[in-house]
Structure 1
Amino acid sequence: MTAYKTIEFTTDGRLAYLKLNRPERLNALSDTLESEIRTALLEFDLDDDLWVLIIHGEGRAFCAGLDVKEHSSFSFGDDDETRRAKALEAVRDGHVGGAQHLRGTGGEGWLGRTANYKPVIAAVHGYVLGGGAHLAAECDLIVAAEDAEFAISETTTGMSGSRTWAKIKTFMPSKMASEMLITGRRIKAGELHRLGLINRLVPAGEHLKAAEELAREVLKAPPLATRDAVRVTRKQWVPLATTLDEQMQLSRLDLTEDFREAGRAFAEKRAPQFKAR
């Protein structure tokens, strides 16, 4: 089994666990964390003895989005040429998440391309923001603690959250998904459960136990039939997310002044002053 720095990948019979393990950063996505998540997902997918995966987070949150201090997509003080060079270096180092805009890998996301289409359950609590919401939305089932808050927070950083929106709207076709994309504001898990995005809503601290109970239900079904069901549901969002990803290659919001201003304002703990350029 692979040795990891920012996640824990463990197994219990047919059930596997992928725990995001950067609690000091609220499990925010660094280049290393993104790369290790992808490696662990591949390890799960190709292991014939593992049939269901639960993804969860250590500490106070599932995932607070991209780590603006350690992620190669966020280099607010650099000029365009330097930022492109850093993104290409991330690709060479295997950190595909850090340069999705250049590689065009964002449409299929974490789970859109797989060999076996095994069921994946997200067990979330606390912050489920940006990249965290993206990851949770791709999972086939979601169990959420009542304290969980979701947001397509890419919008508030000057980026496009369209790929996350594509996955959320597939399973929650409402104007609330549009509001999340347009405003980037946080939405309580209870509201998203009512609208159909979340399968189980449980008291704070009980999300992992509830996810395990749901996993046991899945394991009772014939595995090939459940994988066919997973394949069908994931194929609903891959085409739209891929189309939106191609459009993101053209817009390059990460090169705008507003994107840089959002990052500077965050670092300086002040309100941003946007100029629509």
Structure 2
Amino acid sequence: MALVNYERDGQVVTLTLNRPEKLNAFSDELVGVLGDALHRFDTDDEAQIAILCGNGRAFSSGADVQQRQLRSREEFLKLGGPQGRGTHSADLLTKAVNWKPVIAAAHGYVLGLSVGIVLECDLIVAEEGTQFQITETSRGLGAGKYWALMHYRGGGAFTMEAALTGRFFTAEEAHKANLINRVAPKGKYLEVARDLAEQVLKNPPLSVRSTVRMRRHYMDRLSREVMFMGAPERLYLSEDFQEAARAFAEKRKPAKFKGR
């Protein structure tokens, strides 16, 4: 079974995360396969725009905690964080050749790492009632990157609230805060994303790509500055992070956090 399904209909490619039994949680392998699928789209002469969605009950539950957040201290030190070598999700949309636009079409849940992937897409559609959450806050990791991406989209005061509380927020709240482009009726998120894609396709493709390239450059520069600032903290080595990850895996409440 392919971890990402690639389907082209005319000039529109649909990329479907296909790990539904894990709510499309991002393992190192899934990040790598999605990167390959995005490169295939980027270099597909017949494709001009892509829609990224998830199979099953959710777009994605975020990082695969069992694999990426329960590594040994030695692994964290070798890798420089929870991600595996060459599987940093921040690289997915910034290693393009042709800079074709990508629309995120989300439903169900968009949690943790997948919030970043959605925000990095050029346009965003979410089904009504979709639940977003920056889980890094409660897991002992910094939410600076997510704050930067939401701030870049014009999220205003809502940006800091979402990053500091780590609470769930809905597609409707995200739309009100200018974080997403469309809220789709139940069961219609792919249809709405396709309609948005068709509007983009009415324009000359090179002018569209020029705009995408410029936007991604500034978005990437901002988010990488934030990650560079946070890197020396190495929060993935903290006791609080380790306790939060174990508690999640063991389906229990974490012990009192110690601030170390």
Q: Same fold (TM over 0.5)?
A: yes
AA at the equivalent of 1:52: I
**CA deviation map 1:16-39 (0-9, x unaligned):** 111000111111111111110111
Question: Could you tell me how far apart the structure 2 residues matched to 1:266 and 1:240 are?
Answer: 30
Structure 2 SS opposite 1:205 = coil
Contact 1:133–1:150 under 8 Å retained in 2: yes
* Structure 1 position 29 matched with structure 2 position 13: no
- The gaps in structure 2 that reach 5 residues or longer are none
1:153-192 aligned at under 5 Å gives the runs: 153-192=135-174
* Structure 1 position 219 matched with structure 2 position 168: no
CA RMSD of aligned residues (A): 1.9
Structure 1 SS opposite 2:259 = coil
Question: Which moves more between the two structures, 121-130 or 167-176?
Answer: 167-176
* Structure 1 position 74 matched with structure 2 position 31: no
Instruction: Provide TM-score, normalisation by structure 1.
Output: 0.87
Residue in structure 1 matched with residue 5 of structure 2 by the alignment: 8
Question: Could you tell me how far apart the structure 2 residues matched to 1:48 and 1:248 are?
Answer: 39
User: Taking every aligned residue pair, what percent have the same amino acid on both sides?
Assistant: 41
* Structure 1 position 41 matched with structure 2 position 38: yes
How many aligned residue pairs are there?
A: 258
- 1:178 is displaced (CA, Å) by 1.0
Aligned in 2, Cα 1:270/1:54: closer, same or farther, shift over 3 Å?
same
Residue in structure 2 matched with residue 275 of structure 1 by the alignment: 258
Contact 2:15–2:52 under 8 Å retained in 1: yes
- 1:87 is displaced (CA, Å) by 7.2
- The gaps in structure 1 that reach 5 residues or longer are 101-105
Instruction: Provide TM-score, normalisation by structure 2.
Output: 0.93
AA at the equivalent of 2:134: I
**CA deviation map 1:90-115 (0-9, x unaligned):** 85xxx523xx4xxxxx6x53212322
- 1:85 is displaced (CA, Å) by 5.0
- Runs of 4 or more, structure 1, over 3 Å off, are 82-88
Aligned in 2, Cα 1:260/1:15: closer, same or farther, shift over 3 Å?
same
Question: Could you tell me how far apart the structure 2 residues matched to 1:149 and 1:172 are?
Answer: 19
Residue in structure 1 matched with residue 86 of structure 2 by the alignment: 96
Question: Could you tell me how far apart the structure 1 residues matched to 2:14 and 2:204 are?
Answer: 20
- 1:248 is displaced (CA, Å) by 2.9
